[in-house]
Amino acid sequence: MIRRRVVVHGAVQGVFFRASCQQEASRLGVAGWVANRPDGAVEAAFEGESGAVTALVDWCRQGPPRAEVEAVDVTDEEPEGIRGFDVR
């Protein structure tokens, strides 16, 4: 079990990034949350099996079709044992 926090920069709000991320997390079996930030970025925390979390972080590097991802900051964190996936 691992946890990663990501901050996705670029044109990532208003392009269904959060809803698409939730769908991808569900498909991969990853728990966590995703939220828009006031600075225009999207922030998320992913928790689950290493391969699934890595796949979701990789998905964030492109995002949904209308997203224009410029950069993704990734930070390792201690898992919290969360369940489900929330859009905030």
25-64 residue pLDDT tens: 999 999 999 999 999 999 999 999 999 999 999 999 999 9
61 is catalytic: no
Confirm whether 25 is domain-assigned: yes
18 is catalytic: yes
Confirm whether 37 is domain-assigned: yes
At 54 the pLDDT is 98
Q: Cα-flanking dihedrals φ and ψ of residue 2, to 5°? A: -130, 165
Q: Which of 18, 27, 66, 88 is catalytic?
A: 18
DSSP 15: S
At 2 the pLDDT is 98
Confirm whether 40 is domain-assigned: yes
Q: Is 32 left (phi over 0), alpha (psi -120 to 50) or beta?
A: left
Q: Residue 53: give the domain boundaries.
A: 14-70+78-87
pTM of the model as a whole:
0.95
At 6 the pLDDT is 98
What is the C-alpha to C-alpha distance for residues 70 and 23, in angstroms, rounded to an integer? Answer: 22
Confirm whether 26 is domain-assigned: yes
CATH number at residue 41: 3.30.70.100
Query: For the chain, what is the domain count?
Result: 1
Q: Which of 36, 37, 61, 66 is catalytic?
A: 36
